Amino acid sequence: MKDKIFFPILKKAEVPDIISDLAEAAIDSEIDEGIIKNIPILKTIFGIFKVGVAVNDFLFAKKLSIFLKNLYELSEEERIKLIDKIEKDDNLSTKIGEKIFYLLDKIDDNEKPRLIAEAFKAYLKENIDFDELVRICCGITNIESINMPHLIRFYRENRKNFPYYVLHNLADSGFVDLRIEGEDEWETPTIGKNRIGRNFFEYIYKEHTQ
């Protein structure tokens, strides 16, 4: 299975300098196809998942590099412990490698790969369980980047007076619950805090911004 190949790569490989360079590269950098193909860890991962490596894949390669760079901030021992935990979960681990690729491909900015890596670190520290890891990673993907500050203000300051479309996007992320207070179904909804949102704010966002 693909995950049985993907995770050992993260256990054994040392993050190359080129990964760090690519993670920090500007969006309009001119990256030659051959350069990406010659980065061993990216070449292997792209090969496993049959992702075409070309100049227009630079944005995906950059997001993947940001994720890997932040995950490699863990020691080798911690990284092995993290991967062992994931591989022991028979219900979800078989597709998590592909899930990581799907999420990284879908996300719309370069801060989200860092947040996803922080979620994996929180899972390693047992601050969140596996179900929360998956839900938080999906929430990071689904929330619009422009609405992230609204989510943080809500959890930090309990601010709720957001436009209707913002409320719905926050609810779609799974980080808040959408509520109708009153009997009128046309009444403007409000939002409430939930476990996934609290854990995201406490263990992922705050750790990421420290």
Higher pLDDT, 188 or 62: 62
74-109 exposure pattern, b = at least 16 Cβ within 10 A, e = fewer? beeeebbebbebbbeeeeebeebbebbbebbeebee
Report which listed range, 24-28, 87-91, 203-207, is most confident. Answer: 203-207
Residues in the chain: 210
Which structure tokens are listed for 94? 């078989």
Residue 53 has pLDDT above 50, yes or no: no
Q: Give the DSSP H/E element, type plus range, for residue 191.
A: strand 190-193
Confidence of residue 54 (pLDDT cuts 50, 70, 90): very low
Residue 28 has pLDDT above 50, yes or no: no
Backbone angles phi, psi at 162, to 5 degrees: -110, 155
Listed as own residue / partner, the contacts of 149-158 with beta carbons closer than 8 Å and 24 or more positions apart are 151/175, 151/176, 151/197, 151/201, 152/201, 152/205, 154/191, 154/193, 155/193, 155/197, 155/198, 155/201, 156/201
CATH architecture group of domain 143-210: Orthogonal Bundle (1.10)
Whole-angstrom distance, CA of residue 195 vs CA of residue 131: 12
Higher pLDDT, 85 or 40: 85
Higher pLDDT, 192 or 97: 192
Backbone angles phi, psi at 176, to 5 degrees: -140, 160
Backbone angles phi, psi at 192, to 5 degrees: -130, 155
pLDDT tens, residue by residue, 81-131: 877 877 776 665 666 777 777 888 888 788 999 999 999 889 888 899 888
Domain chopping of the chain, boundaries: 1-142, 143-210
End-to-end CA distance of the chain: 37
DSSP conformation class of 203:
I
